[in-house]
Amino acid sequence: MKHDKLYFVFLIFVIVYFGIIIVPILRTLFFTSISGLMQDSKSGIIQSIELTYFMAFIVAIISVGFALPYTYFISRIHNSFFRFIDSLVELPIMIPHTVVGIIMLLTFEPTMPIGSLISKIYPDYRFDDTFFAVIITLFFLASAYSVRTIQVSYTKNAIEYENMARSFGYKPLEAFVLVSIPFMWRSILRGMALTWARSISEVGSMLIVAYYILPSFTHLVGVFIYSQFIGNGLIPAAESSSILIITGLITLLIIKLLEGKDAAYY
């Protein structure tokens, strides 16, 4: 296929774009030696990564669990009020993450109204440094990625097949579960992956609501590497960063393989 001049002009932008992404990653990966990575693996970074990946996976599952009914509902609403409400889905993305930590404390601390109500149900309730603090904060920050990814897929294609199935006698729930969800499975997987990845990258709000995770006193990985940098300098933090990047690349590769070679981007 012969390409026009615009193709080659845009190719320059593509090369620069990937250069900005890939060069810093390669610099980090080649900054430390294999022996340095092996030594750093004993620092607690592996346990931190395991906990972070697990927590992010929980948040991703919960996000999809909310995204599916939300998408079904909002796609059938043409009221301007609900359209305005829908525009708020991205709002948490633009809020500075330290501010997110503050508003979570203002909402869920036992001394605050909602936190006080929870304390009456669970007398030993505490918010900061708990699994609940991590999950609710990461959900607040990252759920939009699942919602929007699934919403685009549903409104663009799946809803037409669902309506067709309903015309053949399927009940609404049957059509949604048996037709739309299988049709959107790649978008669901992609939405989960984006939410999972966004959850792993979070640092600012975690410094406020969950510096440690009780009862193990384990850091989430972003906080762990930040603490390494503050306490021990650049090299240990770079080694831990390399381990995180390597495990992340492997995980994303597995996700791409699950999506298949014909996976849609949205």
- pLDDT tens by residue, 170-222: 888 888 988 889 888 889 999 999 999 999 999 999 999 999 888 888 899 99
| Listed residue (140, 171, 167, 177) closest to 63, CA to CA | 140
Question: Within a domain: residue 16?
Answer: no
At 218 the pLDDT is 87
- For residue 178, how many other CB atoms are within 10 A of its CB? 14
- Structural domains in the chain (count): 1
- The strand pairing partners of 218, in sequence order, are 213
Residue 173 lies in a domain: yes
Q: Please report whether residue 24 resides in a domain.
A: no
Using CA atoms, how far apart are residues 231 and 237, in angstroms rounded to an integer?
A: 10
7 in a structural domain: no
**pLDDT averaged over 10-residue windows placed end to end, the chain, 266 residues:** 81 94 91 84 89 95 95 85 85 92 94 92 91 95 94 83 85 88 90 93 93 87 93 90 92 80 51
Tokens of 160: 């037409």
Which token pair is 173?
Answer: 């729930």
Q: Do the domain assignments include residue 217?
A: yes
Question: In which domain, by residue range, is 104 found?
Answer: 31-259
pTM for this predicted structure: 0.87
Residue 128 located in a structural domain: yes
Instruction: Flag whether 124 is in a domain.
Output: yes
**How distant is the alpha carbon of residue 176 from its chain centre?**
25
Instruction: Give the Cα separation of 52 and 59 in Å (integer).
Output: 11
Residue 4 lies in a domain: no
Burial class (CB in 10 A: 0-12, 13-18, 19+), 126: middle
Q: Which residues contact 29 (CB under 8 A, 6 or more apart)?
A: 242, 245, 246
CB-based contacts of 215, cutoff 8 Å, min separation 6 = none
What is the CB-side half-sphere exposure of residue 78 using CA atoms within 13 A?
0
CATH (domain of 224): 1.10.3720.10
Please say whether the beta carbons of 42 and 242 come within 8 A: no
